Amino acid sequence: MTEQNYSSMRTAMVESQLRTSDVDDQRVIAAMAHVAREDFVPAERRAMTYVDRPIPLAGGRALNPPLVTGRLLKEAQLVQGDKVLLIGAATGYSAALLTALGAQVTAVEEEDGAEIAVPGVTVVRGSLKAGAAAGGPYDVLFIDGAVEEVPAALVQQLADGARVVTGIVERGVTRLCSGRVVSGVLGLASLADLEMVVLPGFAAPERFVF
């Protein structure tokens, strides 16, 4: 497939997936129209690059659909210079977009995760739920997928007033959520039910029921 084909598909993604589905931040639209998503998709999966479905990766992981990425970026309300803690960086697509939007990105991915080569991004290998405390406090927590709950260890790495965007798994349904940290406490609001990639290692602890 040629560069021109990918460019045409990228334009179609913006017009048919983003603009029609509440991604109305012009900075986000411009970034997603510019960053070549195909560069972050395994060669054998590139025909799926701009389809609004998760793209399988090695090790049972997957890239979120473009609409999910766009909604997360919109709700993050990024401003120039924001320090962003990106959890579940996968191949680096979201990291590239965050950087294009002027963020300083620390991207956390598992030890055996995909190669991430995005200029200016600090990559930390290790447990996703452990984050990267050394780079904090962060202005934004960007969890690139759905989790059962946001670990306290991640919340503790955020500045007061920090924004949080994530997916939350509730009874098998994945929901886009956003919120803020105030005095060390995270409050989240559910925004929409979306098909999101579920990240490993974030199961909520079992609670005793009488």
User: Which CATH number characterizes residue 98's domain?
Assistant: 3.40.50.150
**pLDDT digits 0-9 by tens, 107-151:** 999 988 888 989 999 999 999 999 999 999 999 999 999 999 999
pLDDT of residue 22: 87
Domain annotation covers residue 161 = yes
Residue position matching structure tokens 């965050």 = 98
Domain annotation covers residue 205 = no
Domain annotation covers residue 56 = yes
Q: Which pTM does this prediction carry?
A: 0.94
**pLDDT digits 0-9 by tens, 35-61:** 999 999 999 999 999 999 999 998 889
Domain annotation covers residue 179 = yes
Helix (H/G/I), strand (E/B), else coil: 144 = strand
Instruction: Give the C-alpha separation, 8 to 45, whole Å.
Output: 18
Domain annotation covers residue 200 = no
**pLDDT digits 0-9 by tens, 74-88:** 999 999 999 999 999
Buried b (16+ CB within 10 A) or exposed e, 99-116: bbbebbbbbbbbeebbeb
What's the half-sphere exposure (Cβ side, CA atoms, 13 Å) at 70?
30
Partners of 141 in beta bridges: 85, 164
